[in-house]
Amino acid sequence: MLDFRIETFLMVCRYMNFTKAAGKLHITQPAVSQQIHYLEEYFGATLFHYEKRKLTLTPAGEMVLLACTTFANDQQRLLERVNELKKASRKVTFGATLTIGEYVLPPKLAYFIQKYPKHPINMLVKDTDSLLKDLDEGKIEFAFIEGYFPKDQYDYITWSKEKLLPVCKAHHPVLSQLEITFYDLFPLPLILREKGSGTRDTLEHFLACANISVHDFASVIEIGGVEAIKILVSQGAGISFLYESAIQTELANKTLTTIPLREHLFYNDFSFIWRKDSLYANEYKHFFKALQL
C-alpha cells in the first residue's frame, strides 16, 4: 500500500493547493500540512515554497515528485502481478495515441496475439496529454506516443520516424501552381486535431520553427478523429497535415494527395515510453521487442 504521506504529497503536487488536496483525500488541511512537514523532515529539505502567493515545488520537491510518481506506478504494477499469480496469464495494459493505435499497431498486435494467445491486451487510445497523465497515475504501464513529452520524467525507445505530410483532395486548385509554399496555403481552411493531440503538437512545433501559426490559415477546424479529418479533406473542406502511415490507403486510392511544398518534409519520432527508472523497464522492453518481430 502506498504510504499515506506519499499519497498526500502527490495529491498536493497535482493541485498545488493544500485545501484542494485535503478535500480530495477527505482529511483536514492541518493533517496535510503535518504530513508534508514529516516528509520534509525525513528528506531534510523543503519540498514546497510560496512565490507570489502561488505554491511551487522546490528543486528537492521536483526530485521527490519524480521518484514518487514512478514508485506509485510501480506499486500498481506490483499489485497487478500479485493478483495475476492466481491466473494463468496477466493482462498488459498500455496506451497509444490515435494514429499509432489505429494505423500502426494493429498489424503488430494481431501477430502478437496469435503468437501469445494467453496474454490478454488492453490498449487505450487517447491523446498524448491524457496518456502521460494515465502513466503518472499508474493506469497504464507504458505508451506509444507521437507527441512531445518531458524526457527527464520518462524513459523511452524510438519506435519509428514518421513523415507528417500536407494533404488535400485530389485535383485541388492549389496543386495547379508550379511551386507551392506555406503562404500559398494560408487562404485555405486548416483541418486538424484538437489541442493535446500529439499530431497537433508536432505540427505547431514545426510551424513555429518557420515563424508560422495555425491561425495564419483562413480558418482552423478542430476534429477529434483522423478518419473524419480524411473525409473532410477528401471532400474539399480544407487541407490537413497527417502522418503517412494514416493515409496510405487514401493515397493509393487517390482520394487524397500530398501537397508538394517547397519547404522540407516534416519528420517526427513515434516513441515507446514508460515512467523513468521503473522496476519493470525490462518487461516493457521485452514487449517492445515482441511487437517489432
Domains of the chain plus CATH, in order, are 4-82 (1.10.10.10), 87-156+270-292 (3.40.190.10), 160-269 (3.40.190.290)
- What is the average per-residue pLDDT within 226-250? 96
The pTM for the full model equals: 0.71
Note the pLDDT of residue 290: 87
Is residue 135's pLDDT more than 80?
Answer: yes
In this structure, how many other beta carbons lie within 10 angstroms of the beta carbon of residue 54? 9
Of the listed ranges 185-189, 207-211, 221-225, 239-243, the least confidently predicted one is: 207-211
Whether the CB-CB separation of 142 and 273 falls below 8 Å is answered with yes
Is residue 43's pLDDT more than 70?
Answer: yes
DSSP string, 116-151: -TTS-EEEEE--HHHHHHHHHTTS-S-EEESS---T
Parallel, antiparallel or unpaired: strands 121-125 and 92-96: parallel
- What is the average per-residue pLDDT within 194-199? 86
Helix (H, G, I), strand (E, B) or coil at 155: strand
Whether the CB-CB separation of 176 and 170 falls below 8 Å is answered with no
Which grid coordinates are listed for 284?
A: 516493457
DSSP assigned state of 254: T
Structure confidence at residue 70 as a pLDDT band (50, 70, 90): confident
Cβ-based neighbours of 88, under 8 Å, separated by 6 or more = 118
Whether the CB-CB separation of 170 and 254 falls below 8 Å is answered with yes
